[in-house]
Structure 1
Amino acid sequence: MGLSLPAKRITVNMAPADVQKEGSHYDLPIALGLLVAMGVLPGEEIAGYTALGELALDGSLTAVAGVLPAAIGAVSHKRGLICPAACGSEAAWAADLEVLAPPTLLALINHFKGTQVLAQPKPHMEEVAPGMRDLRDVKGQETAKRALEVAAAGNHNLLMVGPPGSGKSMLASCLPGILPPLDPTEALEVSMIHSVAGLLQGGRLLRNRQFREPHQGTSLPALVGGSSKAKPGEISLAHNGVLFLDELPEFPRQVLEALRQPLETGRVTVARANVHVTYPARFQLVAAMNPCRCGFLDDPSRACAQAPKCAVQYQSKISGPMFDRIDCHVDVPPVSAADLSLPPPAEGSAEVAARVAAARATQSVRLKEAHTGHGQAPRTNAEADGDLLERIAAPDQPGRKLLTEAAERMRLSARGYHRVLRVARTLADLEDSTGVRRHHVAEALSYRRVSPSR
């Protein structure tokens, strides 16, 4: 750039010393501090900005992770933000923020000298995801389709059990097509997580609910978050979206057990020796599994000779508490040749999505009105708990009697009892019913499943 460094010892002091610092996003702040010390840039003006960016050897600025939360932090401190041009549209989503997004360090110097003007970057939005699978492609499986609609309407966890080839993965892939788009608050939450993970492409704010489907070989840090830099894991990247675990018993037991706390609290804390970070993790768990290792438990002509012992051993890989945290269990039988020869069903994802959106809108209004505690009000029935759940989902007298009797016979835990109430409330919302009736409780109970290992 034609600037020579002073013939002196240069010391960079990054205070406070007890906070660990690493990453290339410190390149730009160090360079700006040095230029201020050399008198090239005005220190008073630079002090009003937060800066981050990676500096290449040719003086160009390259993208770094975490620009969106940095921009929101700058707003809270009433500062402007300096970031690479590739991250400018990401930073522009923060309201009332002056953003300088130069392509090179020289362009930034010229801006402060008045020989070049850097325009305010414009925010960009992610495009609508094309090619989502439609429910019209699924033939038969009406019970599973109904369970999928209920799970989508109330944001309930769902487990599908069936033999290989019955369409479990296909049904799960249809779920994004019936979920409502992210509202502005949800979009900002999800985009901030992806920004920290360095996955926000082109600085575009996310508008589609994420559908994450990690492989069975996924490690514990990759799923819940971790590594040396405590990056967000798959459950945080699926925040306000769907986490699909195919072949659930094939995941390591330790990995599955690590999901229990996030499923209850909606957040995960990653603790390392040098860092302690809490990430949001309010995801919808959708899982699929075979009934036994061979997969053909209910088919006498194809099942192994160890049935039903093989089913007990296979399903015991999933603990009782993990089963208990899944709201809806549904059996997915094999599809017959007669079903495959039928024409496509008349109702597809668009019709189901309209009912799901209406049910969620009803929930949102009700939960905001009924919420009396501190913090943000729950957004869906799956998040309602305690006194709030009792007030919005109390069934009528016949429904309460049925639930009490069923809870004793099925030996439902307190968690299972409350999850039945949540699902029943969602079923009532799908019918646009103000109260929870007996048939809502009956259908909700039909989605509770007891593992043969217990």
Structure 2
Amino acid sequence: MLAQVRSYTLFGLDAVPVTVEVDVSPGLPSYALVGLPDKAVEESRERVRAALKNAGFPYPQARVVVNLAPAELRKEGSHFDLPIALGLLAAQGVVPLEALAGLAVAGELGLDGTLRPVPGAVNLALGALAEGKTLLLPKESAKEAALVEGVVALGAETLAQAVAHLKGEEALSPAAPEDPVEALEVLDLRDVKGQAKAKRALEIAAAGYHHLLMVGSPGSGKTMLARRLPFLLPPLSREAALEVTRIHSAAGKPVKGLLRTPPFRAPHHTVSYAGLIGGGAIPKPGEVSLAHRGVLFLDEFPEFSRDALEALRQPLEDGVVTVARARASLTFPARFLLVAAMNPCPCGWYGDPERPCSCTPSARQRYAGRISGPLLDRFDLVVEVPRLTPLELARAPEGEPTAVVRERVLAARERMQARQGKPNSELLGRELRQHAKLSPSSEALLQAATQRLALSARSYDRILRVARTIADLAGSERIEEAHLAEALTYRRSLG
């Protein structure tokens, strides 16, 4: 007897439909699984056999063939356990075939018949919604899937519950989404003593979504500043929150409600190329995609591998990252705000007024040379973060709280949205020239700076975007000379 169960396999961020075909026919007991399964899918045989036995259901003593169609698409993940088990029961007549119509199923089985959560529930829900199917999942995964409006997600705790629902003995209720995640405790800018210019750069970065590089000695406060940046950003809209949640779900990260707060990712400098950019036999999102709509903080910037850093150049420009493999080429969203921090030299004390630097000029040059010119050119803001002495820390006045700075950032964002519908960092070409209008004195200043600093065309445009953001923070419709002069101060450090 033949049974068919609808399921999905994750292909990047998309749930691709897979039909699980189970045929039970007379013959010597055997089990064949075909359709390009990976190791986790192949091992489902033993999990399904034990789960059926321990849950009190028969396992066929016959010839069993399980086909995952389409056959040319590689399948991976343990979430095929439940559809295979239900297919076996339906092929034996334990579950009515008509009960599987209009249903999509995914779930991992424990040996005792319990159902375990599976990654990508939000993505599976989007796939089921597109096909107009009801989704049957483990209970925890069903709560996650219910975040997608319009989908009916049924959650079962055990295989027995799923079978009882299909037989009409005990109906499962549609899952409700969990309450939104409460915002983390706000890290206040007032905790950072001094560093007025760095705080100003942080405000500009948050308002215009400009990439920021901080250079300073150990203990100067670079990490403290970076960790406070997400709290200056506006909350995510529902559409953006669903997009971010979808990425985290596909990566197997626990999701408790829509992720309304911009994500903050801070991978260690030993992260692999695939971990940062994304990869795998079937590519999965990397840190650049997990930071989508939020902040990617790279501390000890020159210590990251050269290949990984150079791979950042595409997503920094395009807002997406493409991972190519022999079987597929997948594109992931990666529009993040890059904040990087580095020491001025290998020992960290070059330019410090109290501690002498032990590095030779050639060592400092090699250290700085780990970051290529094209990558440096993609930073809108470069700011020095000097280390303060204990006396300076004691005398430093208390700065503005995060709430006050955030109000200015939100007001500037509203001006950008009303004027062009996007942050200033995304303005290109003719659109940039249209909205970044210069006063005559500003035009003269920019021409002089272009010649003296030998600015590239990319640097020229980036200065215009930063100046436009500074003008928006000041509530000015036109870029004045003071706005442009301030923007140039964040470019000189590239030297």
Provide the TM-score with structure 2 as the length reference: 0.85
| Alignment check: 8 A CA contact 1:230 1:277 kept | yes
1:268 and 2:328 aligned: no
1:255 to 308, 311, 333: 308
Report the residue type matching 1:85 in the other structure. K
Q: Distance in 1 between matches of 2:218 and 2:58?
A: 68
The unaligned stretches of length 5 or more in structure 1 are 369-378
Structure with the higher fraction of residues in strand conformation: 2
**Counterpart selection for 1:210 from 252, 263, 266:** 263
Structure 1 vs Structure 2 CA RMSD:
1.9
Distance across 2 between alignment mates of 1:346 and 1:264 = 33
Alignment check: 8 A CA contact 2:234 2:410 kept: yes
Does the 8 A contact of 1:137 with 1:344 survive in 2?
A: no
* Equivalent-residue separation in structure 2 for 1:362 and 1:89 (angstroms): 37
Of the three residues 365, 385, 388, the one matched with 2:418 is 365
- Secondary structure of the corresponding residue to residue 339 of structure 1: helix
Contact 2:217–2:352 (Cα < 8 Å) also in 1: no
The one-character-per-residue Cα deviations of 1:226-262 (angstroms, maximum 9, x if unpaired) are 1334221111111111111111111121121111111
Quote the residue 1:286 is aligned against.
Answer: 339
Q: How does 1:102-181 map to 2 (within 5 A)?
A: 102-181=156-235
Match of 1:428 among 453, 460, 471: 471
CA distance in 1, matches of 2:291, 2:94: 45
**Is the aligned partner of 1:322 residue 2:375?**
yes
Residue aligned with 2:68, SS: coil
Pairing of 1:274-423 with structure 2 (within 5 A): 274-299=327-352, 302-304=355-357, 308-342=361-395, 345-368=398-421, 379-423=422-466
The Cα offsets for residues 136-185 of structure 1, whole Å up to 9 and x where unpaired, read as: 11111111110010001111100011122211111112212222222211
| TM-score when normalising by structure 1 | 0.92
Partners of 1:264 and 1:18 lie apart in 2 by: 34
Offset, 1:215: 1.0
Q: Which amino acid aligns with 1:432?
A: G
- 1:82 Cα deviation (Å)? 1.3
**Displacement after TM superposition at 1:338 (Å):** 3.4
Contact 1:132/1:176 (8 A) holds in 2: no
Which of 84, 101, 105 is matched with 2:138 structurally? 84
Instruction: Give the 5 Å matches for 1:42-81.
Output: 42-81=96-135
Deviations 1:18-56 (A, max 9, x none): 100121011112222223322333333423122211122
Amino acid in the other structure paired with 1:72:
L
Letter in 1 for 2:159: L
Q: Which residue of 1 is the match for residue 149 of structure 2?
A: 95
Moved more, 2-11 or 51-60: 2-11
Structure 2 unaligned regions, length at least 5: 1-54
On the 8 A contact 2:121/2:249 being kept in 1, the answer is yes
Larger radius of gyration: 2
Quote the Cα distance in structure 2 between the aligned partners of 1:217 and 1:244: 14
Aligned residues: 441
Structure 1 residue 126 displacement after superposition: 4.3
User: Hey, what's the Cα distance between the residues in 2 that align with 1:214 and 1:441?
Assistant: 34
Q: Which amino acid aligns with 1:311?
A: R
AA of the residue aligned to 2:202: L
CA shift, 1:427, in A, is 0.9
**Higher RCO (CA < 8 A, seq sep 6+):** 1
Partner Cα separation in structure 2 for residue 226 and residue 139 of structure 1: 41
SS at 2:285 equivalent: coil
2:33 maps to none
SS in 2 for 1:358: helix
Provide, for residues 40-87 of structure 1, a one-character-per-residue CA deviation record: whole Å limited to 9, x for no partner: 333334231222111222222110111101111211122221111011
